[in-house]
Amino acid sequence: MTDSRLAERDRAEIERSASEASKVVLKPLDRAQIDRYLNPPADTPYGLEYAFHLLGDVRGKTVLDLGCGTGENIIPMLERGARVIAMDISPDLVAIAQKRLADANLEATVMVGSAYETGLPDESVDTIFCMALIHHLDIKLVRDEMWRILRKDGAVILKEPIRFSKAYAWLRGLLPASEDVSEYEHPLTRDELATMIQPFKVEGTRYFRLPFVPLVSRVLPSKSHAAIRASNWVMQHWPAVERYATGVALRLQKTTA
C-alpha cells in the first residue's frame, strides 16, 4: 500500500475518532468497572474480560495499550501493576484518556502515535494490549511493527470483530452500518486473521457474540447481557456454531525458535 493510501486511511480514522470523542461524556470509572478486569475468570462470557484474563501477571512489565481510545483500559492495567504506555492516532481521544488519568490521580505515558510507526525502540515492550484496532488498519504493517517492538517471549492480547460466515456477512451487509464507522474498517475475515497471527504462536483463542447478540442489543438493550450469556452457553455446548461468532479474543506469543 502506498504512503498516500495509508495517509488517507489515517485521516479517515482521525475524523471518525473526532466524531466519537465529541460524544463522550467523561465520568470517573466506578469501582465495579475497574474490579471486573482485575482478575476475570477464563470462562467469562464477555470478550473484554477474557482479554484481561489473557493479560496475565503484568506486575512490573511494560504494556502498550495500542489504540487506547478514551483510556478506560489503562486504569485496570495500572492497578494490576503494569507500566503502561498508551497510544492512539486520535489527538481527541488521547486528550480524553489523559484527562481520565489526571482525574484518577494516576500516571501513564499517553501519546498520539501511529500503530504502523510507534517510535518505540526494538524489543522494548512486554505485552501489547490491542482491542478492536486491527480491523481499521493495514494488517501486515501493524503486525510487523508489533513484532519489532515486542521483547523476546512478549505477547499480543488481541480482541477483534470477525465475520467468517459469508452468508452472515451478506445478511449483515443489508443492515444499516453503525455510526462512526469509516469506509476502511470491516470485521476481519478468516484469511485476514490468519495474516495477523502468521508469525506468532496462538494461545487461548475464544469466540464471542453469535449474531443474535448485536440484534438483541439494538432492539432490546436491557436484554443484552442475557443475550451475551446465552451466546456463550450455546458455543460451549455446540462449538460448531463458532464460525458464526462476531468477535474473537486470543493471545499471540512471540517466539524466536
Residue pair 116/134 in contact by the 8 Å Cβ criterion? no
What residues contact residue 43 under an 8 Å CB cut-off, 6+ apart?
none
- Residues with Cβ < 8 Å from 104, sequence gap 6 or more? 28, 29, 75
Cell numbers linked to 61: 512489565
- Compute the distance between CA of residue 13 and CA of residue 11 in angstroms, rounded to an integer: 5
Q: What is the CATH number of domain 3-164+185-210+246-253?
A: 3.40.50.150
Q: Which of 231, 255, 247, 147 is nearest to 195 (CA)?
A: 147
Going residue by residue through the chain (257 aa), what tens digit of pLDDT does each one get? 456 666 777 777 777 777 887 888 888 888 999 999 999 999 999 999 999 999 999 999 999 999 999 999 999 999 999 999 999 999 999 999 999 999 999 999 999 999 999 999 999 999 999 999 999 889 999 999 999 999 999 999 999 999 987 666 545 554 555 555 556 668 999 999 999 999 999 999 999 999 999 889 989 999 999 999 999 999 999 999 999 999 999 999 998 76
CB 235 within 8 A of CB 211: no
CB 252 within 8 A of CB 159: no
Dihedral of alpha carbons 187, 33, 210, 146, sign: positive
- The CA distance from 123 to 151, in Å, is 4
pLDDT at 174: 46
CA distance 225 to 112: 34
